[in-house]
Amino acid sequence: MKKTIEYYMSLPYSVLLTPLSAEDGGGWLAEIPLLPGCMSDGETQLEALEMIEDAKRGWLESSLAHNDPIPEPEPHTV
């Protein structure tokens, strides 16, 4: 089965939120550690989380177009 952008977008990737210093312009940095280089920022935590979704889509689309491997999050066990 070929995995689509919708498949990858639905996966529960962890997002790391970090406050940015005033020297860095303030706001928040959002990163998806499992997807190297996938990051975005925003004035607020919510804005950073919204922006990382766009960055994630772009990262995944590029990887799919180039047939690059795409890491998937480990399934959670209870």
Per residue in 4-57, pLDDT (tens digit) is 999 999 999 999 999 999 998 999 999 999 999 999 999 999 999 999 999 999
41 burial type by CB count under 10 A (0-12 exposed, 13-18 middle, 19+ buried): buried
10 compared with 76, residue with greater pLDDT: 10
Beta carbons of 27 and 41 less than 8 angstroms apart: yes
Q: Does domain 5-65 correspond to CATH entry 3.30.160.250?
A: yes
Token pair belonging to 59:
């990262």
Rounded to two decimals, what is the model's pTM?
0.89
Beta carbons of 59 and 35 less than 8 angstroms apart: yes
Helix (H, G, I), strand (E, B) or coil at 54: helix
